[in-house]
Copies of this chain bind each other. A is one copy, B any other.
Amino acid sequence: MRKVASSTPLLLTVDASSAEPLFRQIYQGIREGILSGRLRVGERVPSTRLLAGELGVARSTVVLAYEHLVAEGYVTAATSVGSFVADNLPDVSPLPAGVRSITPVPAGPRVVAARVREAERVSLGTPTVRRWPVPFRVGEPALDAFPTAIWETLRRRRARRRPRAMLGYGSHGGFPPLREAIATYLGASRGVRVRAEQVLLVRGAQQAIDLVARTLLDPGCDVWVEDPGYLAVRAAFLTSGARLVPVPVDEEGLDVAVGRALAPHARMAYVAPSNQFPLGVTMSLPRRLALLDWAAHAGAWVVEDDYDSDFRYAGRPITALQGLDTSQRVIYVGTFSKTLFPALRLGYLAVPPDLVDAFDRVQQLADFVSPTVEQAVVADFLSEGHFARHVRRMRALYQERQAALHDTLRRELSGLARADVHESGMHLVAWLDSDADDAAVSRAALDAKVEVPPLSLYCLERRLPPALLMGYAAVPAAQSGRAARLLRGVLERRARARA
């Protein structure tokens, strides 16, 4: 229903059935009246009471519209004689709603940093738009199983208690009780030996790796990276100007002897020893000791990415490299993106005591990590036992889902792909026929809305047999069968085309 104001030359109309809130319609009507000159500078605008009556809307609605107009400088604040069109109007050219005029980009040099081109050399392996959920996407946790009710209860409790205490900048490095809780948790569950001061909160594993690169790498220095290995890590190292030294991964993890032969004086080695990405290998104890021994003698750093160490289904829990290190050479990286939820954007670094200041310095350049209510909630989640319980539940669920996917592959993709059971992690590696092109299969699968990145994507110099990565943590058993059949269709069509 449309109502028209009669008291003024505004020709103001409002439409209660419109999706646009009433106050915005009033605000826009008066603003347009002013900008078009229908309401002149110094002219009195109708009182809120009068206009509300004419338009048949609540007076508070008109008040809100006027508050906007006053805030933006179109109308003077109300006095006893009323409100007026301001005499110093905002010198803003009004842009028609919806159609903003964008200046075209003129010709001429438009120079960006060389490191942008470096970064473009490496695929990040992340889709630009992540719809939710897509079957088999790698690295997505089971968000449908997240205990949002408990989370919201804890959050309400924190928000009620001293509601404004956690709005400010606070100490950087993060909420001190959370740093303490993480140090305790890492000590008890991973054998990591750190004090709370060595724990720095960051925005997830990627920011952790980026800070490592910026704090420890110089242009031209060598860094061992796992081959195959995680992509975004490489891009972060490359943009620091470092040279990547691909070191092969076998069933015992990164081959330290090869690394020593290729680049004995590297500045750093990056490893994911608990659960290597993408192969899912656990680094053996002799290799761990060899890596630490090399680092101690070479004066090198070891970055231990422990991004999903909590999801281990068999074998003994593995002590972190950090806990075996007697030379304070290990920078430990962890994240809550997998164990809690990605949008939390919370991870952490545990760094040697003598590097705390350097990391802190570099982090301040990039991003103040203020204590927030969310950090307090995570601290409560950890210290009140919710975290351990949730991880235990997810471990059981993911183990079930891995078994379900394994069965599904045997049933639906027999003869086309085969996967081994993994002892840990959130994805399986499905090996294809040796003459298959895994990148082409992956692209065809994406067209069928199944996201299964090819193993070859993660290889630098290695030539491994073709395979697809299949994440299962976020895929319920029911969905898994349907998606596997879609993938079978893709594989069969390609096999027929080859035959």
Contacts and interface: CB of A to CB of B under 8 A. Distances in A.
Nearest to A61: B385
Interface of A: 21, 23-24, 64, 67-68, 70-73, 88-93, 95, 100-106, 108-116, 119-120, 124, 126, 128-130, 132, 140, 143-144, 146, 148, 152, 159, 163-172, 183, 187-191, 193-195, 203-204, 206-207, 210, 214-218, 232, 235-236, 239-240, 267, 296, 299, 315-319, 323, 325-328, 337, 341-345, 352-355, 358, 361-362, 364-373, 384-385, 388-389, 391-392, 395
Closest 6 CB pairs of A and B: A109-B299, A167-B341, A71-B392, A92-B191, A71-B388, A343-B370
A116 B102 CA distance: 39
A100 B185 CA distance: 12
Given A71-B392, A102-B195, A112-B216, 17 more contacts: A72-B189, A88-B316, A90-B191, A91-B191, A92-B323, A103-B193, A103-B327, A106-B327, A110-B299, A115-B362, A116-B361, A119-B362, A126-B368, A130-B168, A152-B163, A232-B365, A239-B362
Given A169-B342, A316-B88, A366 B207 contact: yes
26 contacts: A23-B385, A67-B388, A67-B389, A71-B388, A72-B317, A72-B388, A91-B318, A92-B188, A93-B323, A95-B188, A100-B194, A101-B193, A105-B328, A108-B296, A113-B215, A115-B362, A116-B362, A124-B361, A124-B364, A124-B365, A130-B169, A143-B164, A152-B159, A167-B344, A204-B367, A343-B371
Nearest to A342: B169
Nearest to A474: B168
A272 to B, nearest CB: 18
B191 A93 contact: yes
Interface centre among A187, A232, A240, A384 (most CB of B within 10 A): A187
Contact of A113 (B163, B206, B240): B240
